[in-house]
Amino acid sequence: MHRLGFILACLSLLTLSGCAGTMTRVNDKDRQYDGPHFSVTLPTGWIVRKKPDAILAFKDGPSLQPIQIKYLPHDQAFTKLERSSSPDMLPSELAELHIAELKAARDAGIYSLKVLKNEPANISGHTAFALHLSYKQESGLRYEMLVRGFAHENGLYLMDYRAPSLHYFERDRAVFDALLQSFKLNPG
Give the CATH number of the domain where residue 146 resides.
Answer: 3.40.1000.10
Q: Which domain holds residue 40?
A: 3-185
CA–CA gap between residue 147 and residue 68 (Å, rounded): 10
- In the prediction, which pLDDT does 188 show? 58
Rounded to two decimals, the pTM is: 0.85
Instruction: Note whether 2 and 141 are within 8 A (CB).
Output: yes
Dihedral angle of Cα 94, 109, 66, 86, to the nearest 10 degrees = -20
What are the DSSP calls for the chain, one per residue?
--HHHHHHHHHHHHHTTT-SS--EE--GGG-EEE-SSEEEEPPTT-EEEEETTEEEEESS-TTTS-EEEEEE-GGGTBTTTTB---TT--HHHHHHHHHHHHHH-GGGT--S-EEEEEEEEEETTEEEEEEEEEEE-TT--EEEEEEEEEE-SS-EEEEEEEEETTTHHHHHHHHHHHHHHH-EE---
Residues of the chain falling short of pLDDT 70: 1-21, 106-111, 188
Per-residue model confidence (pLDDT) at position 16: 43
Q: In what order do the strands lie in the sheet with 47-51?
A: 24-25, 47-51, 54-58, 67-72, 156-164, 142-151, 126-136, 114-123
Distance CA 164, CA 183 (A): 24
Q: How far apart are CA 142 and CA 65, in angstroms?
A: 13
pLDDT of residue 3: 43
Domain count within the chain: 1
